Structure 1
Amino acid sequence: MSSARTALLASAIAAALITAVTPAQAQNNRRSYIEKRADQSMTRDGDKIEEVAVLYPEATREEPRQRASGRFQRQINAMIVAQNEGEAEKAIELANELIANERTSPYDKAAAYQIAGIASAELDDVEGAIRFTQQAIDANVLENNAHFSAMRNLAAFQADADRLPEATATLERLVNETRSTRPELLLSLANAYFQIEQFDKAIPLLQQVTAGEGEPNVDALKLLLGSYALAEKPAEAIAVGQRLLAIDPNDKRLVFSVAQMHSELGQDDQATALYEGLRSKGLFTEPRDYQILYTHYYNLDGRERDVIAVVEDGLQKGVLKRDLSTLGVLAQAAYFSENMPLAIATYREAAALDPKGETGLNYAKVLSAEAMDAEARDAAKAALAKGVAKPGEAWMVIARSENALDNNAAYRAALQEASKHPETREQATRVLSQLR
């Protein structure tokens, strides 16, 4: 993919992407041991609670037979209470005591590892969270609900530590070992593939998540749009974009994304309709909105009058400011649409705002082309005074103006000045030789 194309597509889908799973997003999974004990779940006071559903019925892993030893139930409950009440440091301290005790069972230690991992994450110790949670998984003694939920936690912690390939591998293992088709798991794995730019792996998973007839999964659709776009499949991306727009036709950033992809395919009419649809609804509320639309028109042949209409609309509504950038666009569009009164008036205003004189030089050239010679000469001199980058061009405007005004000595002097600069040396020298 070319760098220009990559930049355009990245801009187009910026609003549609979702980020990697983070520990905050995994909060519901982190209480796996506390809330998802399959056969002997306890309240924080140690009372028996109703058995929970099996979350991974198709898992290839057999349910382990080990369970918590009654001897350490009080310490385990205390650890759970500390975690439930937000006392993360205390929970880690109690977990470490259980882990260090030679008499605790492998199950007790695994439960302590899992709680310590959760508590470490809540203390922003991501590396500690990864280490403890990996140990809980490696023990391979927790019931399936807790074991696989620990994998989800681990992937979240790895992603939070920017260890994206490891997070992806963890999620791959989770999906493969559970044989789960739960949308949230498939979306997590697809998101991981997206983050490491394996779009062709993300797409089938996202197609599966978004294929149902129920409530549309907006996050999955947005990620699918982004995956198609960055996999250089703009037609498929547009189709997904249309599904999203059917859900929320006023999603401005999404409209811009889909419109830009239409432009990428040369479907300029469709892009224009989307942009103008937003503008007609009064949803252009930021300068960037108008800038995107007038740039769209500027890149189309013969649409300079539309550029003018968009800029003037933005100025009238106060969304665009009469700054150098905006006035420069308006002046150029007016010039190329042969609206010389507007071009001259706008260049004059813009030239006054330009500290470098470049706009002033363009203003002088327009005046010279319109045979407004005295004004062109004065504008060129003003540009020179500001230090214009190509002074030779300004001197040539002055020379033409002086010649038209029959100021022969000034004409020759301006040509001599123009001959000193590389951009006009050849032209000025040739004219001077013809005067001798």
Structure 2
Amino acid sequence: MKLSKWIPAAICTLGLVLAGGAALAKDSKKANEYPNATRQEPKPEMSSSEQRDLSKAADLIGDGKDAEAQPLVEKVLSSSRPSKYGTSFAHQLLGQIYYDQDKNAEALAEYKKALETEGLPNAQHFSVLYNVAQLQMQDEKYQEALATLDQWEKLTGKQTADEFAMKANIYYRLDQFQPAVDTMKKAMSMTDKPNDSWMQILMASYFELNQYDQAAQIVQDQLAKDPGNKKLLNQLATIYIQGDKPQQALDVMAKAKSQGLVTTGDDYVQLAKLYASADKPKDAAATMKEGFAKNLLPATYDNYKLLGDVCTQSEDDPCALDAYSKASPMAKDGNVDFQLGYLLFYSDKSKDAVEALSRAISRGSLRQEGEAYLLRGDAENDLGQSSAAMADWQKSLGYPSTKSMAEQRIKAAKGGVKINRPTKKKAK
């Protein structure tokens, strides 16, 4: 059960640093972010016209005026003798324009051209390289993204928490859960304020490794800071369920209900199932009834069947009859009708039981087909329809689970012995 729905598609949003002409002049005065870089930094030289056009284009993009910026960028790229810096920067800006238009493939191609031209200063070059890795990840090119991040590390001579977190996210999506754990723990060790999404990836990776205690501990730590977080409570309950700890899962959801956090149909269904798995069918039935009473539970086959099942288990036959009757018209097989027929027979409604069991047999895919014929025979016998009863008992002879009981009934009927109503058992 992969918890992809819990994990953000990307850890970091794409954040391209745009530099206008004025900013370019100041770049040389900034502290060197990459003192251990292995890339030899080129001189950021370009013509005054390139600087004027690209500075204006960068400002326009920053103001969200991409359509006005694009002709200026393309003007530089079409120049007969563009500088390496101007060409690289123009490709970078065009990549940003394409990215803003959700044209990831085109954006990626432009960023790669910006890198291949080798005209950008280190800080700018490394920023574009990191953007390439992010785009590759967004496009699910995970191996390429990992290779790009390795290249980023080699060229920058640097490792960061964000970079390791992105790698961990990629490992998770490649189903490499132990590397995801190891890498994310490394990322978290490098910062005092790890992103919440990093915790989610670490938790989900533990989950996929069946290390449920570790996964639960991460969620518990987050809940300690945000005890009313419904999403976290649901996650913790799911982890306990997968870890075969139904009582702990039930405790989590019951507490959530006491806090007023069980507010949706899905919440009520989950809580009811937890009560049922903890062998508390009365609580499960009460939960489902409350959900229906509050109009939170839609009138679906699954919801009515669940209500019927827990009411049957709690021996609330009127509730089960009502629920199964509502589920029956939506059923795709005969199993609900079999359960309905069973309850109707033991409610002294043999005529209705025959009708329900006939639907069950007609719809098919029965888990207890032999029992359906046997029970319909009992109901027909109860109505004095001896020939129909004998025919159904004969059919139930063909099923190992009902062969012995069918033989007893047939022998008794042929010997003129009165057949009493069999003892009621819980329907499965």
Same fold (TM over 0.5): yes
Kindly indicate whether residue 97 of structure 2 is the aligned counterpart of residue 119 of structure 1.
yes
Secondary structure, counterpart of 1:203 in structure 2: helix
Q: Is 1:142 aligned to residue 120 of structure 2?
A: yes
Residue in structure 2 matched with residue 171 of structure 1 by the alignment: 149
Counterpart amino acid of residue 133 in structure 1: Y
State the distance in 1 between where 2:126 and 2:223 align: 36
Residue 343 of structure 1: which of 313, 317, 326 is its match?
A: 317
Structure 2 equivalent of residue 16 of structure 1: 6
For 1:416, the equivalent position in structure 2 comes to 391
Amino acid at match of 1:362: Q
Question: Residues 36-435 of structure 1 correspond to what in structure 2 (within 5 A)?
Answer: 39-40=25-26, 51-70=29-48, 72-211=50-189, 214-300=192-278, 302-321=279-298, 324-337=301-314, 339=315, 342-355=316-329, 358-368=335-345, 370=346, 372-373=347-348, 375-384=349-358, 387-389=362-364, 393-403=371-381, 407=384, 410-420=385-395, 428=406, 431-432=409-410, 435=413
Conservation of the 8 A alpha-carbon contact between 1:364 and 1:377: no
Q: Is the 8 A contact 1:398 1:414 kept in 2?
A: yes
How big is each residue's C-alpha offset from its partner over 1:21-52, in whole Å with a ceiling of 9 and x where there is no partner? 68xx21xx3234449956545xxxxxxxx954
* Structure 1 partner of 2:417: none
Question: What is the Cα-based RMSD across aligned positions, in Å?
Answer: 3.3
Mapped to 1, the partners of 2:22 and 2:221 lie a distance apart of 37
In 1: Cα distance, 2:323 partner to 2:77 partner: 76
**Is the contact made by 2:268 and 2:291 (CA closer than 8 Å) also made in structure 1?**
yes
Alignment partner, residue 418 of structure 2 = none
Q: Any conservation in 2 of the 1:121–1:129 contact (CA below 8 Å)?
A: yes
Matched to 2:282, the amino acid is R
For normalisation by structure 1, the TM-score amounts to 0.80
Deviations 1:274-310 (A, max 9, x none): 111111111111111121122223233x332332232
- Using the TM superposition, give the Cα deviation of residue 379 of structure 1 relative to its aligned residue in structure 2, in angstroms: 2.2
Q: C-alpha offsets along residues 242-299 of structure 1, whole Å, 9 cap, x if unaligned?
A: 1221222222222122222223333333222211111111111111112112222323
Letter in 1 for 2:16: R
CA 1:330–1:87: 2 relative to 1, 3 Å? closer
Bigger mean CA offset, 50-59 vs 359-368:
50-59
Residues 37, 155 of structure 2: 8 Å contact kept: yes
Q: Secondary structure at the match of 2:134?
A: helix
Q: Do 1:331 and 1:344's aligned partners in 2 also have CA atoms closer than 8 Å?
A: no
Q: TM-score, normalised by structure 2?
A: 0.81
Alpha carbons 2:184, 2:198 under 8 Å: kept: yes
Give the partner amino acid of 2:128. A
What amino acid is the match of 2:181?
I
Q: 2:50 & 2:193 partners in 1: Cα distance?
A: 46
Closer, same or farther: CA 103–297 of 1 in aligned 2, 3 Å? same
Q: Residue deviations 1:40-90, cap 9 Å, x none?
A: 45xxxxxxxx95454434433343234233463333334334434444345
Q: Alpha carbons of 1:35 and 1:19: their partners in 2 closer, same or farther (altered >3 Å)? A: farther
Q: Which has the higher contact order (CA 8 A, sep 6+)?
A: 1
Change (3 A) 1:208 1:349: closer
On the 8 A contact 1:32/1:150 being kept in 2, the answer is no
Q: 2-side partners of 1:397 and 1:266: how far apart?
A: 36
What is the identity, as a one-letter code, of the residue corresponding to 2:287? V
Quote the residue 1:30 is aligned against.
16
Whole-Å separation in 1 of the counterparts to 2:395 and 2:169: 61
How many residues get paired? Answer: 404
Secondary structure of the corresponding residue to residue 312 of structure 2: helix
Is the 1:111–1:142 Cα contact (8 Å) retained in structure 2?
yes
Q: 1:260 to 1:183 in 2, by over 3 A?
A: same
- In structure 2, C-alpha distance between the alignment counterparts of 1:154 and 1:148, rounded to whole Å: 10
Partner amino acid for 2:387?
A: R
Gaps of 5+ in 1: 1-6, 42-49
Distance 1:212 1:99, change over 3 A: closer
User: CA shift at 1:163, angstroms?
Assistant: 2.4
Return the letter of the residue paired with 2:353.
A
Question: Structure 1 residues 199 and 245 mapped into 2: Cα distance closer, same or farther (>3 Å)?
Answer: same
Indicate if the aligned counterparts of 2:380 and 2:388 stay in contact, CA closer than 8 A: no
Deviation at 1:157, TM superposition (A): 2.6
Question: More displaced, 196-205 or 418-427?
Answer: 418-427
CA change 1:39–1:236 in 2 (3 A) is farther
Secondary structure class of the residue paired with 1:419? helix
Is contact 1:415-1:429 (8 Å) kept? no
Q: Secondary structure at the match of 1:354?
A: helix
Structure 2 residue ranges without an equivalent (≥5): 415-428
Q: 1:430 deviation in Å?
A: 6.6
